């Protein structure tokens, strides 16, 4: 089990879109290392020819009739949005200004 460094925590945080403060990286590194060391125990099990299990029901490709139904009210959904404009979600800029 490899050690978890500050840099690795910073990388994970970046991938997970978390703006972690520098001051907390060491604490997370210590905790993640303990947790990852413990869960690495799954590697002790021989799993040759075992099919991975993703859920319990065994159901695949569940369909329902494709019928038009009333959808949720736009006003009610926009009421809980952080910012709106012209009956739409208003989001921050997504392209660089150049």
Partner 1 sequence: MSDLTKLSAVELSGELSKGSVSAVEVTKAHLDRINSLDKSVQSFLHVDNAGALKQAEEVDKNRKENKKVSALAGVPLALKDVLTQKGIPTTCGSKILEGWIPPYDSTVVKNLKNAGIVILGKTNMDEFAMGSSTENSAYFPTKNPWDLTKIPGGSSGGSSAAVSAFFAPLGIGTDTGGSIRQPAAVTGIVGAKPSYGGVSRFGLVAFASSLDQAGPFARTVLDCAMLHEVMAGHDPLDSTSINQPVPDVVKAAQLQDVKGMKIGIIKELGGDGWQNGVLNRFNESVELLKSMGAQVKEISIPHSLYALATYYLIAPSEASSNLARFDGMRYGLRVDDGNLSAEEVMNKTREKGFGKEVKRRIMIGTYALSSGYYDAYYAQAQKVRALIAQDLTNAFKEVDVLISPTSPTTAWGLGERVNDPMAMYLADLATLPPSLAGIPAMSVPIGLADEDKLPVGLQIIAPFMNDDRMYRVGGAIEASLKTKWNGLLIDQAPALGGAK
Q: Which residue lies nearer to partner 1 by CB, 3 or 55?
A: 55
Whole-number Å distance between alpha carbons of 32 and 21? 16
55 is a site residue for partner 1 (CB under 8 A): yes
Return the SS3 of 19: coil
Whole-number Å distance between alpha carbons of 95 and 88? 19
Whole-number Å distance between alpha carbons of 78 and 86? 10
Q: What does the per-residue mask of binding to partner 1 show for 14-53, with x meaning CB under 8 A?
A: -xxxxxxx------x--xx-xxx-xxxxxxxx-x--xxxx
Contact residues: partner 1, CB under 8 A: 9, 12-13, 15-21, 28, 31-32, 34-36, 38-45, 47, 50-57, 59, 62, 64, 72-73, 76-77, 79-83, 89, 91-94, 96
């Amino acid at each position: 089990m490899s050690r978890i460094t500050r840099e690795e925590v910073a990388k994970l945080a970046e991938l997970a879109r978390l703006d972690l403060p520098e001051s907390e990286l060491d604490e997370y590194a210590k905790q993640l290392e303990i947790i990852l060391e413990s869960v690495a125990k799954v590697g002790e099990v021989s799993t040759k020819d075992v099919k991975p299990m993703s859920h319990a029901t065994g159901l695949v490709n569940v369909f329902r009739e494709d019928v038009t139904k009333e959808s949720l009210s736009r006003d009610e959904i926009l009421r809980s949005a952080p910012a709106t404009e012209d009956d739409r979600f208003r989001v921050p800029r997504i392209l660089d200004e150049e």
